[in-house]
A and B are shown apart, each in its own frame.
Chain A
């Protein structure tokens, strides 16, 4: 008789390759329950979610637009997590970048986009870094756990934004709690006519490429990864562990700040307290599903954007609430993490 036993050990390579597929399948089976409750057929819902957006030019453009901020936050989280620094604060760092961008975009009196936009990006990067600085220093100097400090600073940032927008920055024209509109020179050019794909997408791709290069091709990158994988061994090899964690945390904050710049300059044209729809937290999903690699982050950002865009189609066509996209994203994260455990087991035949 054939007997099978599950034991610990590395799973075979072919199996590891299909784990993401398994995760997606399980997620969709689980989510089918909600689709059925909503009175739609799961098959048509999945068609709307995964296939339909790819068939239309406008929807394809929307996917790029929606992938932009979460690719940036995903890369930000990837850098930090790769160093073993659990930055949950991308949300706050994103807003810090947004504030800086809106400030430069309204204050700098120039009609040159070539001058304006780079300055917004630099200012946003620096602002994100500054907002990431305190928890990073606390971590490196005092071994204070970064998860809680970065998380709490997100809430502090929301109050700060609200104070700004209800106070000195309240739009004098509309009276809404939003900053004045940024100057024309500060508004990111649209890349594809009749779409909302903006310069931010290119910024995101460049950042992704640069980080991919830094992490895989530079001394700094390999040292950061060494620290993240095995802190003791990294120290043994003479790598300045504290410094590498600090740098990774700051770069992470800066990139999250760029996501804020991109949303202000490319989408809203003003600073608002609803600048981010959980982009900072979704960055954690993007990075985790991307297995903390840059190509993985690009793929998962595009996939999540597809699901989000698909959710809009599904809500239009099938009257399934658009929040289905949020549910799928979160479920993918949890199911994805759980299925990664399958990596650690193999099935062996016993005679």
Chain B
């Protein structure tokens, strides 16, 4: 029982950055932009948050820096793909490479060739909601974890219950129709990118300011690509995206536990499972109704 609760606790913790990133990517893709820059955006956000926190001594300023970094890179993505109408996958990939390069460049500049990753003196604390009960470990999480969970209904509400969400989905489905309805397609796509970038910033910040309290080159380790997979797996629906993120987190937590207990198992194959599931899901579902129909297509009038 206890070990099960610990497993679930680890699942929630591991899921948090993936959930933030996937929610951000969901918003962006719902507006018709596939942001393959996510992997690099996560890395540079994690780094800038960490540096800002270390130099100012304020975790909060670190958080702000991470979010601003996510937004800035998303604006660059917007400039290239929304305004210039360049190919989304090539530009996304370029942004990932650029942001990673800048992060590693700055890391070397500030910390030299340090082999051990630097750590913050303090990192974001955990919040105990049910102390003293059997479930205490499960609800002893970073406050950002609770926020990430609250963001799921929030994003759902935003997409389905507000005029903003209606317009955002419209430009991702049929930008011509949205334009005819008097909606500024470019503006909506930029707004989606900004919001998505902020979520990606939070994901990066969680890793360097809360979960690890440190930065290393491999801190993201493919989590951006995981998010891309989860968004498809989750059919671009916030609650299904949550399920996907928890599945990923759960598999990871299980894998760590099995490894720690020395169970001989090719745990990498377990880790690859969600990717394979996603590919199978895409193959079966194809371009079904939930696929934002305008994804990857730049919008041009006439």
A interface list, Cβ under 8 A from B: 34, 37-38, 86, 88, 134, 138, 142-145, 147-149, 151-156, 158-160, 162-163, 166-167, 278, 281-282, 284-285, 288, 321-327, 329-331, 333-334, 337-338, 341
Contacts and interface: CB of A to CB of B under 8 A. Distances in A.
Interface in B40-93: 76, 80, 84, 86-87, 89-91, 93
Contacts, number: 137
A261 to B, nearest CB: 23
Interface stretch (B97-105, B162-170, B198-206): B97-105
Given A160-B268, A327-B98, A338-B84, 10 more contacts: A88-B89, A149-B282, A155-B229, A155-B272, A160-B272, A278-B97, A322-B108, A325-B101, A327-B101, A341-B86
A151 B228 contact: yes
Contact of A333 (B90, B222, B232): B90
A288 B101 CA distance: 19
A145 B283 CA distance: 9
Contacts of A86: 89
A159 B232 CA distance: 20
B301 interface: no
B286 A326 contact: no
Given A142-B283, A152-B225, A159 B271 contact: yes
A331 B108 CA distance: 19
Interface stretch (B139-147, B183-191, B273-281): B273-281
B36 interface: yes
A334 B282 contact: no
Contact of B222 (A34, A149, A158, A330): A158
B45 to A, nearest CB: 17
B272 to A, nearest CB: 4
Contacts of A154: 225
B94 A285 contact: yes
Given A334-B80, A334-B91, A159 B283 contact: no
A142 B87 CA distance: 22
A142 B286 contact: yes
B228 A148 contact: yes
Contact of B87 (A143, A158, A166, A337): A337
Nearest to A278: B97
Contact of B104 (A321, A333, A334): A321
A149 B90 CA distance: 15
Nearest to B110: A321
Contacts of A324: 101, 105
A146 B104 CA distance: 30
B109 interface: yes
Contact of B91 (A156, A325, A329, A337): A337
B275 A156 contact: yes
Contacts of A166: 266, 268
A297 to B, nearest CB: 15
B250 to A, nearest CB: 17
B268 A162 contact: yes
Given A144-B283, A152-B228, A334-B80, A327 B105 contact: yes
A34 B90 CA distance: 24
B269 interface: yes
Nearest to A324: B105
Contact of B101 (A88, A149, A329): A329
A323 B84 CA distance: 28
B225 A338 contact: no
A34 B95 contact: no
Contacts of B222: 155, 158
A317 B272 CA distance: 43
A337 B94 contact: yes
Contact of A285 (B95, B97, B102, B278): B97
A337 B266 contact: no
